[in-house]
Amino acid sequence: MAMNLQDFRKHGDELFDALIARRAVAPLTDRIPDISLDDAYRIQLRMIERRIDKGETVVGKKIGVTSKAVQNMLKVYQPDFGQLLSGMVYSEGEAIPMDTLIAPKAEAEVAFILKADLNGPGITAADVLRATDYVLPCFEIVDSRIQDWKIKIQDTVADNASCGVFVLGGTPRSLRGLDLSVAGMVVEKNGDIVSTAAGAAVQGSPVNAVAWLANTRRVRHSAQGRRGDSVRFAVAADAGRGRRFLPLQRRRPRQLLRALCLKTDIMTLDQDTIQNLAAHLEDAELNVRAVTKITDAHPSLDWDDAYAIQHAIRLRKEARSQRVAGLKAGLTSRAKMKQMGVDVPCFGLIFDYMSVPNGGEIEANKLIHPKVEAEIAFVLKQPLRGPGCHAGAVLAATDFVVPAVEIIDSRYENFRFDLASVIADNTSASRFVVGGVARGVEGLDLRTLGLVMEKNGEIVAMAAGAAVLGHPAVAVAALANHLAARGEEIPAGTFIMSGGATEAISVAAGDAIHVRFQDLGSVSMRFV
């Protein structure tokens, strides 16, 4: 049955009362199965009308449901929008009373401040760039008046796109020379990193979301985006799904460093077994065939055994005139650790034959089951020595950083391994591509440096540098400390891949990979 004006007022009043009383109500879609999006936006307007009657003013717009993950969850394939009101605004660093919210969740976003009107239809990304005065980082704390966040798109639209409160911060930046699609962000909760992302999470670029808003018919029937409006939209997926919102603080990586450098005291394998396993794994690489992980036959194999096998593989390669081209850290991101079922990083070697020029071709039939991951690579101007090496020492010793993509290729069946097995297999090293622009680290925030990976033109992964142990330099420091435990250092001039920032993405013949790095350019390759 079609809804009428009385219905819109009734449900808008219900949601306003829920906001004031801090209590949730049953989903509208359970009670009104045939409610439409137009109905939901009319209910939203009534809720906003009640807030304005209480003395609030509309200060801007927000855009929601901009990521594919959220759209898939809600089974809709377009964004929604809501109204920002004066009562939602908090200053940076200001405490947000929890008793003013019901079930808050935090999202990191970008805010646009307009210097010119945006009047659709026909608004393009170029129009948004011209109309934007500056952008700011911000937090939205979303808060649903719907019980247990059991929402469909009509529920969240009626509930003013689940707006709670928001905080603007940072430094205003012009869009001139700023590529928001690779702008990185890092969310910490109680000192722990809980989310990293790049602007491409929002419809390929946040600019596209603003253009969508200006072209949306419903906006023209409500309140137009005007000069001075704060237009906001989600840059990252919900960083606190299922958790209460709490203040953020910096993490401390030193404790992590100590944990990385632990080693066992006693090797369990004899030298003949080590040499045989090295030959076994290298033969698997050379013959392009997968084998079972070696700990199935040698369950007592420890880290020292594993690194001894890796060293034996190195000697075999050097005997064939293959040269060590650099060092690498592996399993350094939370995503990779979770994906591979391990909880600590590992380290390996890259060789000259593994290098592929930027934009080059990689023969897929010479690899078993390749995957790609984007990384930040360091080149040192000074040696690094442990123990006690830290991120600050790494940055001081760094000549420059460059963007890179590593193609990993485990010699184990189905990429299934434990930590000792992957160490022995030289951390799945296979190929690597370096591209982009070499940059000194001065003035470059590697923690928030964003990257976006595309496969065949589709975005498949994104992250910021903090996905690598909180800061990519921490991975390099951990490597220096690891080598120190073995009486070694990292020499000046060493090329070091700091580890994948994202989950590893499977590739096959015919796939094209293109990765864009904030401030560092891009890296690309094709698999043939």
pLDDT along the chain (528 residues), means of 10: 89 96 96 94 96 94 83 78 93 91 92 90 90 92 94 94 92 90 92 90 90 77 49 39 34 33 58 96 97 95 93 97 95 70 82 95 97 96 94 96 97 92 96 95 95 96 94 94 90 96 94 97 97
Helix (H, G, I), strand (E, B) or coil at 296: helix
For the chain, list the domains and their CATH numbers.
5-234 (3.90.850.10), 255-527 (3.90.850.10)
According to the model, what pLDDT value does residue 398 have?
97
According to the model, what pLDDT value does residue 66 have?
84
Give the C-alpha separation, 393 to 518, whole Å. 23
Q: What is the DSSP string of 30-70?
A: HH-TT--HHHHHHHHHHHHHHHHHTT--EEEEEEE--SHHH
| Among 236, 242, 73, residue whose Cα is nearest residue 139 | 236
According to the model, what pLDDT value does residue 452 have?
96
Strand partners, 407: 372, 431
pTM for this structure?
0.81
Half-sphere exposure of 13 (CA within 13 A, CB side): 6
Our CA angle for 479, 484, 488, nearest 5°, is: 95
| Among 445, 241, 417, residue whose Cα is nearest residue 346 | 417
According to the model, what pLDDT value does residue 220 have?
47
Give the helix, strand, coil percentages of the chain, each rounded to 5: 35, 25, 40
Q: What is the DSSP string of 309-376?
A: HHHHHHHHHHHTT--EEEEEEES-BHHHHHHHT-SS-EEEEEEGGGEE-TT-EE-GGGSSS-EEEEEE
Query: How is residue 213 written in tokens?
Result: 């808003």
Q: Kind and range of the H or E element at 144? A: none
| Among 205, 206, 188, residue whose Cα is nearest residue 196 | 188
Bridge pairing between strands 89-90 and 505-506: unpaired
Contact predicate 356/367, CB 8 Å: no
Q: Which residues contact 228 (CB under 8 A, 6 or more apart)?
A: 113, 114, 115
According to the model, what pLDDT value does residue 1 have?
63
Other CB atoms closer than 10 Å to residue 495's CB: what's the count? 19
Q: Which residues contact 402 (CB under 8 A, 6 or more apart)?
A: 376, 377, 379, 434, 435, 436, 437, 438, 439, 520
According to the model, what pLDDT value does residue 334 have?
67
The overall longest dimension of the chain from CA atoms, in Å, is 85
Contact predicate 101/18, CB 8 Å: no
CA 284 distance to own-chain centroid: 33
163: left (phi over 0), alpha (psi -120 to 50) or beta: beta
Helix (H, G, I), strand (E, B) or coil at 109: strand
Strand partners, 463: 451
Q: Which amino acid is at 332?
A: T
According to the model, what pLDDT value does residue 239 have?
33
According to the model, what pLDDT value does residue 177 have?
85
Contact predicate 164/82, CB 8 Å: no
